[in-house]
Amino acid sequence: MKVVILAAGKGTRMRSSLPKVLQPLAGQALLQHVVNTAHQLNAEQILTVVGHQSHLVEQAMEGQNVDFVAQTEQLGTGHAVQQAVPEITDEDTVLVLYGDVPLTAKSTLDDLLELVSDEHPLALLTINLDNPTGYGRIVRDPHHAVQAIVEQKDANPEQLKIQEVNTGILAAKGAQLKSWLSQLQSNNAQGEFYLTDIIAMCVADGFAVQTTQPASEIEVLGVNDKRQLQGLERQYQMQLAEALMVQGATLIDASRIDIRGEVSIGQDVEIDANVIFEGKVVLGDRVRIGANCVLKNVNLGADTEVAPFSHLEEAVAGEKVAIGPYARLRPGTELADKAKIGNFVETKKAKIGAGSKVNHLTYIGDTLMGSGCNIGAGTITCNYDGANKYQTVIGDDVFVGSDTQLVAPVTVGKGATIGAGSTITKDSPEGKLTLSRSKQLTIKGWQKPTKK
Of 191, 4, 231, the C-alpha closest to 98 is 4
Query: Can you tell me the distance from the alpha carbon of 137 to that of 122, in angstroms, rounded to the nearest whole number?
Result: 17
Per residue in 389-404, pLDDT (tens digit) is 999 999 999 999 999 9
Q: Is the pLDDT of residue 189 over 80?
A: no
Determine how many CB atoms are found less than 10 A away from the CB of residue 250.
12
Q: Is the pLDDT of residue 440 over 90?
A: no
Predicted pLDDT at 191: 85
Strand partners, 412: 394, 428
**CB of 199 closer than 8 Å to CB of 89:** no
Predicted pLDDT at 74: 87
pLDDT, average across residues 141-161: 92
In b/e form, how buried is each residue of 382-417, taking b as 16+ CB within 10 angstroms? bbeeeeeeebbbbbbbbbbbbebbbbbebbbbebbb
DSSP state of 378: T
What's the CATH number of domain 2-220, 3.90.550.10, 2.40.37.10, 3.40.50.620, 3.10.330.10? Answer: 3.90.550.10
Q: Tell me if the domain spanning 242-434 has CATH number 2.160.10.10.
A: yes
Predicted pLDDT at 190: 81
pLDDT, average across residues 147-169: 93
Instruction: Sort strands 275-283 and 294-300 into parallel, antiparallel or unpaired.
Output: parallel
Q: Where are the domains of the chain?
A: 2-220, 242-434
Question: Among all residues, which ones are annotated catalytic?
Answer: 360
Read off the pTM: 0.90
Query: Can you tell me the distance from the alpha carbon of 153 to that of 135, in angstroms, rounded to the nearest whole number?
Result: 9
**CB of 375 closer than 8 Å to CB of 359:** yes
Of 317, 280, 314, 277, the C-alpha closest to 293 is 277
